[in-house]
Structure 1
Amino acid sequence: MSDIEPTEDLSQILRHRREKLEEVVKRGMQPFAYNYSATSSTIAAIEGFEAAEAGGTLDEEGYSEPVQIGGRLVGWRDMGRSVFAHVEDGQGRIQLYFRNSVVGESSFEALSVLDVSDWIGAEGRMFRTRTGEVTIQVEGWILLTKSLRPLPFGKVETDAQTGERTVYGGFQDQEARYRQRYADLAVHPDVREVFRTRAKVITELRRFLDAEGFLEVETPVLQPLYGGASARPFVTHHHSLDQRMYLRIADELYLKRLVVGGFERVYEIAKDFRNEGLSRVHNPEFTMLEWYQAFSDYEDQMDLVERMLVHVLDSVVGERVIRYGDDEIPVTMPFRRIGLVSALSEAIG
């Protein structure tokens, strides 16, 4: 693997990677594999090794049974007759150890075609290094995808005591990160975790409302009349009907019609659109949860929201604490209930 990328400009990097693609083809390797079966994720492999270690089922030399993983190369250290690398998949990362005498001369030489950002598959037995890191001693590897453009990985340092990772350099420009979210996700595992947490929250909201007897429905996105909120809509034209249509700004009116039609508890988690300001915290396209319940009043709805929030915290976070920046907000039932005017008077003194 080349170690000159950090000081090269983009055109040089792209040229070198194209040259390596040609080398891959000359070696008879497939640069873009269409199928690969990993037997384990990185996290599952590490957990499996630690369980075997705790259970005393490793062999006499401290090796596990073989595992087969796939992932993106995110780190590389060439030691001459051996190489240490890190690969990352959708679950986590793991260290690989390539040794000339284990993988074979030709396979070891072929490592020269690899770059950070390439995808590879690796198979081997696991062990723990002298520094305590769970590692796969690679017995065989395969190129899965040759990356022709570099990803903006920074230099990562890990605290040996706390395990906390600090990234220096890399993809830090906030505007670029929002515009190129795919690159942001690729190099920042913490951002991927936000996406996973959001998905879990939506899943638990659905689970809670379903258990409360609510029916999830879908209402029209294109509407002849918009309503349910005071906002400027996006406007389009339906050619077959020769009619002006609007992207919905809220789900309210159609959900209320369903209640009129006999559905006593309905909800929808859907995209809504408002043709208004744009900022980091305000997007014209957003996801909204809206529900309606017959035979209930605002006291019932306060009870419902309280139980819903606690359910999501218990299921997703595992504790009844909301962390925002350096603040920790404990969530205890029942919630304090005060009037709007009283709350404003208290806030402004």
Structure 2
Amino acid sequence: MPLIDIVLPVRNGEAFIADAIESIRAQTERDWRLLVFNHASTDRTGEIVDRLAAVDPRIAHIPCDTELGLSDVLNLGLDRYDAPFVARQDADDLSLPDRLALQRRFLEANPALALVGGQYEIIDATGERSFGIRRLPHDSDRLRVACLFNNPIAHPTVMMRRSTLKALGARYGSGFLRAPGVANIEIKNLAEDYWLFAQLALQGLCANLPDTLIRYRRHDTSVGVTKFEAQMAISEDISDHLMTVVATLHDEKPQSVRPFCNHGARLAPLDANGVLPSQWRSLRAQLLRIFGDTPGVRRELAFRDVLANRTLPVVLARFARFRLTNSVDTDEMATLRHILSQQKKRLLG
């Protein structure tokens, strides 16, 4: 049994699959098994995987039926193999050489945590142009509340502790964090990672390394590009559902977090403007009661304070004050750019 199982689902990935696999073979961590779940590919993907598996017995090529959804395929990786740690790799991304070693050491040093992700570099389809590093929150305390507003964990970067997942009944697509009287939901694709990770993060089981772990390839055929609108809509539904579950578990009246979410750096409209509108004031107080007035919680809510008023001069002034005492994450800066872009569109008619 290897120390790490790496789950790599792929469908028609002949353009990038060889590079993705070679990035795993180049890891400084050597005790791994790569499980390539070939999701009914009709191109040369299977041939390429077979060629690489022939020279490295740690690579397993596993054909999957076309009717399986992505959550089903990912759950095969959780169910059929038994390494202590399970990592994710996408078919078009590149893991940096120390990625698996850094994550393994972190989880071994932090036995109370179930998941660790990290930062990533965004590159173009050729891999020659870099769009910079996406910086995400680190500590589990902040991630507990940040996961209500967007997905602060990058799916292709994660490594998870299998024993904790099994103990919780945690799987892709299903709800395992439940509250009395709140109907469960199933998320089979597009945001299945957010659904899983947020449920873990709310229980303080997740962290991100400050290290850059992968090179994330952005191209026109990626799901994040072709199905962006649908993905964001599902993510907003998940955010509100999570808040309902958390509030109910703490004997609080559920409130909507949707107006203050920034999934994909896009904001839902507020019903009204004002200096810290009553809707946000009430929600902010509730979040402090539920999660506690800790440094990580305060840091996350400080950025939501900026978003509580969409009048551009107020937003800019609050953001300027925010930057005086906080380092700004990539998603936060992208959200401000989105506000400026929307304002420009309105002015231009």
Normalization by structure 2: what TM-score?
0.24
The structure where strand makes up a greater share of residues is 1
Q: Which structure exhibits the higher relative contact order, with contacts defined as CA atoms closer than 8 Å and separated by 6 or more residues?
A: 2
Larger gyration radius, structure 1 or structure 2: 1
Normalization by structure 1: what TM-score?
0.24
